[in-house]
Structures are given as C-alpha cells and as structure tokens.
Amino acid sequence: MSARRAYPMRDPAADGVPADLCPIATALNPMQPGDWRSLRPVVDRDKCVKCAVCWLYCPVQCVVERPAWFDIDLATCKGCGICATECPHRAITMIEEVAG
Amino acid sequence: MTMAVREAGTAAATRPRHIVCEGNEAAALAVAMVRPDMLSVYPITPQSSLVEHLAKLCADGRMDAEIVDAEGEHSVLSVLQGAALAGGRTFTATCGPGLAFMFEPYWRTPGLRLPIVMALVTRDGITPQSVWGGHQDAMTVREAGWIQMYCETVQEVLDTTIMAFRIAEHRDVMLPVNVCLDGNYLSYGAARVTLPDQAGVDAFMGERNINWHAALDPLRPMAVDPLTGGSGGKGPAAFLRYRKGQCRGMQNALRVITEVHDEYAARFGRAFAPLVERYRMDDAEIALVTLGSMTGAAKDAVDEARAAGRRVGIVKIKTFSPFPVEALAQALAGVGAIGVVDRSVGFRWNCGPVFQELLGVLYRLGRPVPAASFIGGLAGADLTVEHFHAVIARTAALLGGDVPDGPIWVNEND
Amino acid sequence: CPTGALRYVTTARIYNEVGDWEDLFAPGLAGCQGCNSELVMRHALRRVGPDTVLATPPGCVPGMGSVGYNGLTGTKVPVFHPLLTNTAAMLAGVKRQYKRVGRDITAMAIAGDGGASDVGFQSLSGAAERGEEILFLVIDNEGYMNTGMQRSSCTPYGAWTSTTPVGRETKGKSQDAKNLPLLMVGHRCAYVATASTAFMQDFYDKLDKAIAASKHGFAYLHVYSPCTTGWRFPTERNIAVARTAVETNFVMLWEFTPHDGLHFTHPIESPRPVADYLKAMGRFRHLTDDQIGHIQAKVEENRAVITQIAAGAAAR
Amino acid sequence: MMAAGLLAAGLVAEGKYAVAIPSFGFERRGAPVVAFVRADEREIRRMTNITHPDCVLCIDPTVGRSVDIFAGMRPGGTLVQTSGRALAELTLPAGLRTVGLIDAVRIAMEIFRRPITNTLMLGALARTTGIVSLAALEQALAQSEFRDAGLDQNIAALGRGYRETQIHHLDREVAA
C-alpha cells in the first residue's frame, strides 16, 4: 500500500543546501529503547488468538504479527506492561529481565 | 489615496508613471509588484493604512495574494513562517507594540533563514504612551538578526521594498528584512513617486524558490528546527555552526545589498546609496550622521551651512543591520568632529543607539575623533532645518575641544 | 461487553485496515514507559498518512524526539517545532500556501493541553474563527508534563502538580479545569470531538471525521491522555485508567458539527462514582471527602451542561 | 489630508514636486486637523511640518475659534477661507496680502447636502493663488478613489469653488 508509506528523505547536501544554513534533519533517529526494560513481555503462543489488542494499545508499536501469533520486537519494547494487562486472553506475561 | 497622474499630452505607457502617495501606500504598491503569495496583517498606528492598502489591492484584483487577517501580530508573523516554509513569498508590516508582541516569532525568523519582508513603520516606545513616530522599536530589536534598512523618502520606501525581497531571497543571505519607514513623516507623508514598470520588476525578481533550504513539504520530508545544542555530543558544535552561518549571511548581506542596489539603479534609473550615503563629504571637516527621513532636512541645512562657508557634510546610514562598519569608517576617515542624530534612546550608554554603534567605528579609525550624541524627533517631534543648524553649530564646537559628557536633547526647548 | 468479544471484533477491524500502514514516527522515541501520548500520536499520524505537515509545539510530543535532536529526526513526514504559542497560526500559513498552489495536504498539529488551552489559546482561537483548514489534535494529559508536571488550565480540581503541591494550606489545584473542547464548540468549528485511547474504534471514527472536516474547515480533536509519570500510577494501568475516566463520566466522549450539533458517542448511563477513578492514581491520593464531593459535583455539572447542549441538537 | 493629497497630486500633474504631510493627531470627524503641503520645481527633501506658511487654506469657517491658524505666517501671505461673511467682518492679522473668500459651506450643502468643503476649497485655492490649475486638480480627482456620482459631485465642487471665490488684494485695497 504505497500511498500509506512515507516519502523518502533526501540528503540536503546533495540538493546543495549548506550545512550551516538552517537546522534541519533528514536522518531518522536510530535509537532503540529496548534497553530501558526491566520487565519483558512473553507471549503464550497457544493462548494468542491474534485479536490485536496488544498491538492496538502498545505505545511504541512494537507488536509484530507472526503467522500464528503476535510477537514483541524487543529492540523497541520499553516493558510498560500494557499489553499484558489488556490482553483479553491473558496470553502475555511480564517476566523480569535478567542481566546480560 | 492613490493619485495617479498622466503626463499631459503623452501616452502614459511610454513615460515613467508618477503618482502621489503616502509611504504606507508606496510600500503596498511595491509589494504588489513583487507578486507575493501570502500577506498576513493586523492593524496598528501608524502602520494601519499600509495593511488597508494591501487589502484594497487584493480586493480590487490588482494583487493576487492570500491575505490572512490574523488575530494579532504574533500570529501574523507565524502565519508567514508557515507559508515561507511551504514555499511562499511573504510580507507583513508592523510597528512599536505590535513588534513587541511579535517578538517571539520575530527573533526566530532569522535562524530559520526565512526571507520574509516586513515593513517596520517605526514608532516610539510605550511608556509614556505614544502613537507617534520614533526609532525606539527598531532599535530595541537590533540584535534579533533581521536586516534593517531605513528609508529617507517615499520613493525610497517603494524602491527599497522591492529590493528587500531580492536581498532577503539571495542564496548567500536568506534572512528576513525590515524596511524601516519613519512613522508619521514617511508613513502618512505623501510625495511624488515614480513607479517602475511591472515587466521590469518581474525580470528583476527572477524565479522564486523560497524554501530550497528548509521546507515543510510532504514530498521532501524533513524535521525543521530539531533541538540543537546541549553540553555533549555533536549538539554544541552544530549550534555554533548554525550561528556562524547566520553571521556569515549577515556579512554577505553587505555585499548583496550593494549589488542589488546597483542592479536596480541600472534597470530602473534610480540610485540609492545601499549602505551609507555621503552627502557633501569631500572636504568636510565635520560630519553629521543621520538615519531615515530626518536626512532631507539635514541636507537642506548642510547646503545652507556650506553657502555660509562651513565645511560640513552628512553620512546617512541606510543599512543599519548588518552594521556597515567599513563603509562608515571610510566615509568618516577625514573628519575632525562627528554629530550623530538619533531618533531614539540608548538607555544603557546614556546616548543614542546609532551613536553607541558609531563608537565602534571610531575605534576602527585608529584616532580619537570628538563626537556628540544628539537625540531628537522622539514621539513624532519634528526635526527641522533649524534644528540641524543647531546640531551643526554644536558639532563644530567639538573641534575646539568642547565635548559634551552626555546626550544633547534636540527638541528640549521647542 | 463482559466477555470482551466486542473489543476483539473492533480491534481486529482496525488492525486489518491500518495494521500494514507505516508507523510514521521513528521506532525509538523517548516517551516514558507506557506513555499514552506516544500511543495517541502513533495511531493518529499513521491514520492521517504521509501527505501531512505535522506541527508539534513544545511539550511531551517533541520532547520525546518527534522533531529530533542534533540532526536526527523522529518523524517520517515533514515536522516542525512551532512555538508553544503559535501552532495554529503557523500551520494556517502552511496550509494556505499549499491550497494556493493546488496541493492537497493535511496540516496537522499534535499539541499538548498547555500549549492549546493556555499560552497558545489565542492563535488556536484565531485560526478556528477564520476557519483555517487544520486538524488540531490536543493530547490532554492535564498539565505541563514535559517540563516537570506543572499545572495547566486543563488540570482538574484537587490534582497534585509540582506547582499545585499538597501542603498544610492547600491541597492540590484549587480551581476547576477549563473545558477546552466545549470552548471550541463555541467557535463553531467544522468538527469538534473528545476521545480516549481506551475507546479506539471511537477514536479512529473521530479521526476519520476530523481528517475529512480539515479539508474544508477547522477540525479539533481532544484526546484525554493519562500520564503514568505525572499522574502517578503504574505504567501497565494506562488504558485501565483511561477507561475508568470514561466509565465515571470524568471524561465524556462526544462529537460536534455545526450541522448536527453535539451528541454523545459513548454515553454512560450508570456511571461509577468518580472516587473509583480518583483512587487509581497518586495525584489524587491526598483528597479529602469534601474535595472528592466537589469533583463528583463537577462531573455531574459537566454532564448536565453537555447533555443540555446535546438535547438542543437532538430537538432541531 | 484628503485635500492635501489631492493638491499634491494636482501639483505633480503639472510636473512639479510636492510633499503633503498630515498632522499626527487623532483624526476624528469634526475635530480640528492640519496638513502641510510643499511645492517646488525641484525635489523636496525635507519631510517636516510647515511652521511659516506662505498660504493658509482654511476649509472650516469655525476652526479659527479654537486654533490660531495664522501662527508663524510671514508678511505678504495668502489666506483662502470659507466664510459666509464679508471680508470686513473677518478678523485678519496684519501683513496678509491676499484673501480668497468663498461661502463653501453653503455651496457644499447644495452639492453634497453635507458641509464637506475639501474640494470646493481646493478650487478656491487654485483661483486665489494660481499655483495649480483647475485642470490639474480635475485630473487628480479623476485618478482618486472617487467614482461615479461621487466623482461628478467633487468635479462640480472644484469648479464652483474656483468660479465663486472672491479675491481681495489687501495692499491695493488699503492703498485705494
């Protein structure tokens, strides 16, 4: 659905814009807040019915669809626990992150 | 009120078109000739007739521009920032309290490098409550980063307003411009002016590309003005880079203002000094430094003083920001005494703001030149030929070592 | 619906429609854990799409990195920091210029309640009066959360904030909240609605209507947004708190157009006592019975006012 | 200021330079206002008020009661005045050489049904001083904001102002 995708960003230097002119940014921040987490969501694949409630309420939109269940992208999941609270089938539990 | 006049017995199209109009209308007519996209307006004395003229030009179909009647000056300039970031050529006008209310977007505009042009119909500062002319508003914002050019005549208001767009949009400049016209004397003063031809202005203006450097355009996504700075990482150096770039744009403007004035003179046959004007300075022993519409009376006074044998000249500052340090130093190189006439007050140094700036130029001269600060024309007061005779006499006294230790208040005994 | 089946259906409907549309913010934004503002803005921008110019006045939305830091952006559409005070005016300029050159874009603001109801209200009111074609979305977390949880005019009575602290003399904010969406109804905007992330289908429906309205007039969408950090409740309770606000009528979901007037979109006929909502968060922990009584009375008064307006619309 | 601007436009129509400067007060209907006009064959540089006028054009018969309209006037000057009274009944300063008199309010009531004397008095000024021609003022009016009936009325007023002004040369009358 191309109309629903962002237009590509261009390099201002390639367009002849001096680097000292006006503060602009055309590179996307690569930050991955997954390391903020102290609790991690774990999805019980047997209980997941793919209702997408977790996806709907996830503030960072880190819920990704798998063939038979919804999974969590742990690179961006901040561990807030909303998905576990809201899941109508109790398919997500929060477990403690262990160091390393 | 436009009073277009055709030369009797000639075809109007082949002769320059003279009209009689006030400075506020001259600015509006100039704006119409550069074919702006967006105007945003809010009325305030003594600027109001300017925005009324803009509205009338649009209503009559003589100007094809969007006109946004915003709910205050703060929004006026904000609307224009949005329009400029979307690629529009923009104009507005304000003065005094309106400028103060506009200050938040005002001091942001240069950093965004938006070539917005704004007539600043100068007005003295409240309080005391005043609706009359004076340069206090413009002087108060002189470090905000706008280019500021002061006009002497109604004709210069018209021509400078056209040139201002070229200067602002020049790729080596990309800064907003205030065309300063003295409240009352130029805003409402009507005089004979000559209009340039529209085809000539179109050719002079060339192609517009306002937001080549920073755009709010879905087809060209970018973040405009992300947070920049901090105390670690790349931020502080990046902030410094942009600040230096802004300073570079201001310095480039000295050259571009000169080039644009030269080109305008070549195309339309009207030449104005771009940075400073030297009037009868060749063998001048004393110099007056003036700004804006007071200069005409000063010139008449100097002619009379010259006729009486006094070697006096005038250095008029047109471009006040960026401050034309070198041009002023050259113009004043040979004089023995300087009298600076300000139409506003510098509270910190107990002198006029232009005088205060001039002190820096004197340092460049490398020799001590006695100078006096005259302050007059506040809140609409007249600066007459007689006043300038007194200024000339007092400045001449500097040659004999009679240097005042404070400002001389010109209208004190009117 | 006690079994949750209704939620299941509507959620799947939203997911099936927009799930593969691109999230137009960077994956990593520095919103707090469980940030409802981040949830609102990701859904809203995804729905509005890439042909958008986004303005985010100072607050949590740019504070979490939407406009970015030091050369990096957090948003995939053109985005700008307006001033806290001029969002609606600046967007009006953007939109009018595109309209002038015949390009259809959505000019969208995602603003906080402080920048909309306090210092930015003049430009908001002016733009609404002029009918500027803008989609103005306010995330109402009832205070200046980005700068450290100070009170705004949208902060409710009794709430602790860092500038309405709980002490011997005073106990939280001593004034009631300004009803900003109702003020926008007074501007006769093309569309005005309140929404909550606990009722996503309702929110999406209103987004669609607001987007459509923004093509011919001023569209105003007010989303109540619990702030886990500033309101002091556990991050995982965010949606639950939002839901309780609606179920107690502390927050009412309605929409307005000049043609159809105002009507409730999710009327609560038998509201739970507002104390159920207040006790869910730390910012109200200090409340006396008198203060709770005041808030309960205020809820009923608000309900009566809006019901009266809605009844007027229904009678037409 | 309307009259001053029209006068300046008329002067420019004849190839002259002109500057018109209004007083900077609050212009309210009926309140006394003053405007200054300079004319010259060469460019006028001073943008200042006029403190020593050669000619005073007084378009309101009663304004002299509240304002000294002759302040700063040099000997040998000209007054163009609207008045229903005869010259002998007017209090005039010494040194005035020429006076143009016209009952402009009466004529204005006939033309406009309101006491608007501006264009009438411009006609009277042209007749009294000869510094600008009637044709040039008509041209200035035609290029102004006036349209249709309003323009016709003002052209008529200009003409009647010009024709119905009585000019008195005080020196000669005193000598005679």
ipTM for this model: 0.94
Residues 91..120 of C with a Cβ closer than 8 Å to B: which? 91-98, 100-101, 105
* Mean pLDDT value of segment B313-323: 98
**Distances from the Cα of C173 to the Cα of B154, B163, C116, C210, C233, angstroms:** 57, 55, 19, 32, 19
On the question of pLDDT at B396 being above 90, the answer is yes
* Mean pLDDT value of segment B159-165: 98
Pairing of strands A70-72, B17-22: unpaired
pLDDT band at B4 (very low <50, low <70, confident <90, very high): very low
Residue A10 lies in a domain: no
Q: Are A47 and A84 in contact (CB under 8 A)?
A: no
Choose the weakest-confidence range: B9-23, B152-166, D156-170: B9-23
Q: What pLDDT, on the 0 to 100 scale, is given for residue D109? A: 96
Q: Provide the number of structural domains found in chain A.
A: 1
What H or E segment, with its residue span, contains residue C52? strand C52-55
List, in order of start, the domains of chain D with CATH numbers: 49-175 (3.40.920.10)
Q: B3-205 — its CATH code?
A: 3.40.50.970
- End-to-end Cα distance, chain B: 32
Nearest beta carbon to residue B75 from set C52, C77, C89:
C89
For residue A85, the enclosing domain spans 31-100
Q: How many CB pairs under 8 A join A and B?
A: 60
Average pLDDT of every residue of chain C: 95
On the question of pLDDT at D139 being above 80, the answer is yes
Q: What percent of chain A has pLDDT over 90?
A: 93
Q: Answer whether C19 sits within 8 Å of A78, measured CB to CB.
A: no
Query: Model confidence over D32-80: pLDDT tens digits?
Result: 889 999 999 999 999 999 999 999 999 998 888 888 999 999 899 999 9
Chain centroid to Cα B384, Å, comes to: 21
Classify B276-409 by CATH class: alpha beta
Q: What pLDDT, on the 0 to 100 scale, is given for residue C133? A: 98
Query: Model confidence over B354-369: pLDDT tens digits?
Result: 999 999 999 999 888 9
Q: What pLDDT, on the 0 to 100 scale, is given for residue D172? A: 53
Q: How far is Cα B396 from Cα B383, in angstroms, rounded to an integer? A: 19
Q: Name the residue in chain C with its Cα closest to that of B231.
A: C70
pLDDT by position in tens, chain A (length 100)? 445 899 999 999 999 999 999 999 999 999 999 999 999 999 999 999 999 999 999 999 999 999 999 999 999 999 999 999 999 999 999 999 986 5
Q: What pLDDT, on the 0 to 100 scale, is given for residue C254? A: 98
Nearest beta carbon to residue B3 from set D6, D44, D49:
D6
Average pLDDT of every residue of chain D: 91
Residue A83 lies in a domain: yes
Q: What pLDDT, on the 0 to 100 scale, is given for residue C11? A: 83
On the question of pLDDT at B3 being above 50, the answer is no
How close is the nearest chain A Cα to the Cα of C73, in Å?
A: 5
**What phi and psi values does residue B323 have, to the nearest 5 degrees?**
-75, 125
* Mean pLDDT value of segment C226-230: 97
Q: C5-314 — its CATH code?
A: 3.40.50.970
CA dihedral sign of residues D5, D10, D11, D13: positive
Q: Tell me the β-bridge partners of D21.
A: D36
Ordered DSSP codes for B65-95: -EEEE-SSHHHHHHHHHHHHHTT--EEEEE-
Chain B residues whose beta carbon lies within 8 Å of the beta carbon of residue C75 = 221, 223
CATH code, domain with A39 = 3.30.70.20
**What phi and psi values does residue C50 have, to the nearest 5 degrees?**
-75, -20
Chain A residues whose beta carbon lies within 8 Å of the beta carbon of residue C28 = 29-33, 60, 76
Average pLDDT of every residue of chain B: 95
Q: How many CB pairs under 8 A join B and C?
A: 152
- Domain parsing of chain C, residue ranges: 5-314
Pairing of strands C191-196, C254-257: antiparallel
Q: How far is Cα C173 from Cα C170, in angstroms, rounded to an integer? A: 8
Q: How far is Cα B264 from Cα C192, in angstroms, rounded to an integer? A: 52
pLDDT band at C5 (very low <50, low <70, confident <90, very high): low
Q: What pLDDT, on the 0 to 100 scale, is given for residue B13? A: 42
Query: Model confidence over B31-84: pLDDT tens digits?
Result: 999 999 999 999 999 999 999 999 999 999 999 999 999 999 999 999 999 999
Q: What pLDDT, on the 0 to 100 scale, is given for residue C6? A: 64
CA dihedral sign of residues B253, B258, B262, B264: positive
- Tokens coding C38: 């981040």
Q: Answer whether A88 sits within 8 Å of C4, measured CB to CB.
A: yes
Residue A97 lies in a domain: yes
Domains B3-205 and B276-409 share a fold: yes
Q: What pLDDT, on the 0 to 100 scale, is given for residue B66? A: 97
Q: Tell me the β-bridge partners of C139.
A: C112, C223
**What phi and psi values does residue C295 have, to the nearest 5 degrees?**
-70, -40
Residue A2 lies in a domain: no
Residue of D45, D141, D146, D151 for testing the chain B interface, max B β-carbons within 10 Å: D45
Chain B residues whose beta carbon lies within 8 Å of the beta carbon of residue D142 = none
